[in-house]
Amino acid sequence: MVHLNARHFCAAKPLLVAASIAVAMLSGCAGPRDQLTTGGIPDDYRERHPIVVTEAEQTVDIPVASTDRRLSIAQREMIRGFAQNYLSRASGPVYILSPEGSPNAGAARALRSQVRAELASRGIASNKIINTSYAATGVLDSAPLRLSFTGTTAVTTQCGQWPRDIAADFTNQNYYNFGCASQNNLAAQVANPEDFIAPRGMTPIDAERRNEAIQEYRTTTSTIEDVDSGQTGF
């Protein structure tokens, strides 16, 4: 009886070895992923720091001295830039906020009508310009005259976030903060945030310039001899 069990065990031993190898291979497939594998790793900073078009308050602070009675050239340029930004991004109300409780509060109220006239001259309807005020924080400081509107703007995630230690990472991926600054710069520099959503329509061609180019193409000739000699008709 003992010899019979031994023979059966010897005959079944190769099957046990093969089964053990198969189990080991299957457990290897179900185990943790190889951290050194780099192919197909999702590592696009544009997905990590996406640019989103949303509504945000746009403000411009115009410094006003307590002795100011007329807008300076620099102040008018700031107002014109603000009006241009508004016309390209919004169509709602524009707020002129004058400070209250500051040494220059009287001067700011005196300049408010000039600011309103400057905005109207830039194409903003008078019924959309609203005069209001805000409480100045520093009693001894000169608070600015603030222009504000709510319009579309392009934003992305805040930079400077380090959720994990980049020194102990062997996944061959970019660190989390990589690409954040360039995405923020792109969002801040774009003239029209809606360009991130859809392209603009093409402007019409310059017909006069097109005719000149076609005429030049028709009348100008060149030969292989001209090209070889370094002389061309173009």
What DSSP line would sit under 13-45, residue for residue? HHHHHHHHHHHHHHHHHHSPPPTT--TT----H
Strands (E), the chain: 52-62, 94-100, 129-135, 145-155
Closest to 75 measured CA to CA, from 94, 62, 59, 60: 62
Q: Measure the CA–CA gap between 62 and 145, rounded to whole angstroms.
A: 5
| Burial class of residue 42, CB neighbours in 10 A (0-12, 13-18, 19+) | exposed
Instruction: Report how far residue 117's alpha carbon sits from residue 76's, in angstroms, rounded to the nearest whole number.
Output: 11
Within 13 Å, how many C-alpha atoms sit on residue 158's CB side? 4
For residue 133, the SS3 value is: strand
* Cα–Cα distance, 78 to 95 (Å, whole number): 15
Burial 58-70 (b: 16+ CB within 10 A, else e): bebebebeeebee
CATH 3.10.180.10 assigned to 57-150: no
DSSP β-bridge partners for residue 62: 145
pLDDT along the chain (234 residues), means of 10: 50 60 59 53 82 92 93 95 92 94 91 95 95 83 91 90 80 85 93 86 86 88 62 51
What's residue 202's pLDDT?
84
**Cα–Cα distance for residue pair 82/147, rounded to 1 Å:** 8
Q: Compute CA distances 145 → 16, 48, 110, 130, 187, whole Å.
A: 86, 38, 11, 13, 27
**The whole model's pTM is what?**
0.59
231: phi then psi, degrees, rounded to nearest 5: -115, 135
Domain positions in the chain? 57-150
Q: What is the structure's pLDDT at 163?
A: 85
